[in-house]
Chain A
Amino acid sequence: MTNSNPSLVKIQGVSKAFRRGSEEIHVLDRLDLEVQQGEFLALMGPSGSGKSTLLNLIGGLDRAGTGSVEIGGERIDQLSDRALAAWRARHVGFVFQFYNLMAVLSAERNVELPLLLTHLSKKERMQHVEVALKVVGLAHRTHHFPRQLSGGEQQRVGIARAIVTDPTLLLCDEPTGDLDRKSGDEILGLLQTLNREQGKTIVMVTHDPHASARASRIVYLDKGQLSTQPPA
């Protein structure tokens, strides 16, 4: 680890198990992870290795069985559901593989969604939306609906939605998994820009070595444990 920035994400001794019928599957096993402020971390591993589960724990979407999850010095595993929701609204932006835009809302109204949880006026919200869509290069498509946009454009709207509240942490779950190579490259370039120019800390789950190559660090998850080396 060469980055000298303070840790933004600090996970210690985290375990997570799921029940499948009578069987208990240990997805994460006393796992430790630190992500520095401003880092772009790629999280790789085979299917079912628990990458998304780990991402969900970092983002406060799920709760660990044991261990602690500390983000920006705050133990989010100890927050109530309501406090955790408020924390997510302030500190985290999510980018999903299938974009998860609301089909009935235009691009700008999709991006506006997280701002509905703030005290900003309609005018202020629209100003933020305009900036976010400009950052992702979609200022000219504000009134288009998801069905009128290409996959790459939809993912850009998804990224605009993730950054519109100016969160510290961006969590991306296979952000290029549903895109062709060209569009995927554009999205990865955009994430790199956000990381380098705006200092966003990014944790990206991916299967794709081409995508992970854009990250500043790669970790591999296999059999519930993290490693800096790909599994054999």
Chain B
Amino acid sequence: MKFLGLVWSNLKRKKLRTALTVLSILVAFLLFGFLCAIKEAFTAGVTLAGVDRLVVRHKVSLIQSLPASYEQRIAGMPGIAAVAGQSWFGGIYQDPKNFFASIPVDPEKFLDMFPEYSLPAEQKQAWLKTRNGAIVGKTTLDRFKWKIGDHVPLTSPIWGEPQGQSHWDFEIVGSFTGMKKGTDTTSLIFRYDYFDEAKTRNKGEIGWFTVRIQNPDQAAEIARKIDEEFANSPYETKAEPEGAFAAGFAQQIGDIGKIVIAVLSAVFFTILLVAGNTMAQAVRERTEEIGVLKAMGFTNELVLVLVLLESCVLAAVGGFAGLGLAWLATLGGSPAPAMLPIFYIPTRSLITGAGIVLALGVIAGALPAFTAMRLRIAEALRRNA
């Protein structure tokens, strides 16, 4: 600790250079934080997917729906614990930019299938009693400043409006939160019976089924059996683990993970060069001083540690500030809730970021530190003379 003052003073030697380097590192880690949040937005479904849940959809695409009767047939198959149907409603509130996921479901089956959604018991009862009742995730409730009891008009470009009406009317009867961090709380969930009765086409059809199986180890086998059950029918199915389904959904945009890694690799390589150059210059300018320190009795190893410490402090100031700013910025929620309903930096990404900060400090300082360590005193002092 007693050497930290010396390290800090050295960093203040060229204030502008240090500030610019810190700023570069800060921006890099700010970007890291945001990209991690974006990656999480696309992959949270995979992370949070239940290992005991399968998704059964139409074999051709998610756009094609399945007969509602499949629910009973799937439920009757061996190894199946529960089945819950869902459909994509694509509701819009007032303006197309006010988009969020809106899904018709059977309330009891849905809440049983997804225990990660927390809904107060009295609100659940109200939902069961209210045919056009809807529960809204807290994020969307807060976003539009809705409250329980409000009537929300939605339009659906996919399904059109109910016969003789200009919009779908939903009464908000409850608001759900997530039991796990990262749970999507942007959706509006409403009753399938209301939806099926009011829609003008594809009656008796459902978008996809979520299936809970009794033994996760049998997921692949059960998925195969479900697909076999409906093979050669007009509505063939594709059953897959929920995680794979979510990953496939995210893959429609691209491999977000690879994109993020590619961008960050380029950024960190550049930052490594910037920080490395700063440290190399700093050590080169201090050749005589390093010689004097060694003359006083500072060992080669101590000089190595001091330069590495300086490099790590430089990286830490910029890196942790960048990570901190990114974290603070994501606390405010998603900048684009329609596109990125889940937007936060996971703890594991913050830990990874902290690791990268330290690695950056060590790698950027390694060569200058090694040079300083090997510097011969007489030679260093002769340069001054």
Contact = CB atoms under 8 A, between A and B. Distances in A.
Given A61-B378, A96-B381, A86 B5 contact: no
5 contacts: A86-B299, A88-B296, A100-B292, A116-B6, A161-B296
Contacts, number: 73
Contacts of B288: 100
A34 B377 CA distance: 24
B interface majority secondary structure: helix
A45 interface: no
Contacts of B13: 103-104
B381 A113 contact: no
A149 interface: no
Interface-central residue, B5, B295, B381, by most chain A CB under 10 Å:
B295
Counting from the closest, the 9 A-B pairs by CB-CB distance are: A89-B297, A62-B378, A104-B9, A85-B299, A61-B377, A88-B297, A100-B292, A114-B296, A104-B13
A175 interface: no
Contacts of B297: 85-90, 114, 117
Contact of A85 (B5, B12, B298, B381): B298
Given A82-B301, A85-B298, A89-B297, A104 B5 contact: no
Nearest to B286: A102
Interface residues of B, number: 27
A209 B270 CA distance: 57
Interface residues of A, number: 30
Given A82-B301, A122-B2, A100 B296 contact: no
Contacts of A62: 376-378
B56 to A, nearest CB: 68
Contacts of A105: 6, 9
Nearest to B376: A62
Given A88-B295, A89-B296, A104-B13, 9 more contacts: A52-B382, A59-B295, A85-B298, A88-B297, A98-B384, A100-B381, A102-B289, A113-B6, A114-B296
A116 B3 contact: yes
Contacts of A109: 5, 9
A56 interface: yes
Nearest to B384: A98
Interface string A53-67: 100100101100000
Given A59-B295, A117-B298, A104 B381 contact: no
Contacts of A56: 377-378, 381
Interface in B268-310: 288-289, 292-301
A82 B300 CA distance: 8
A137 to B, nearest CB: 22
B207 to A, nearest CB: 67
Interface string A73-94: 0000000011001111110001
A113 to B, nearest CB: 6
B16 interface: no
A86 B302 CA distance: 12
Nearest to A158: B292
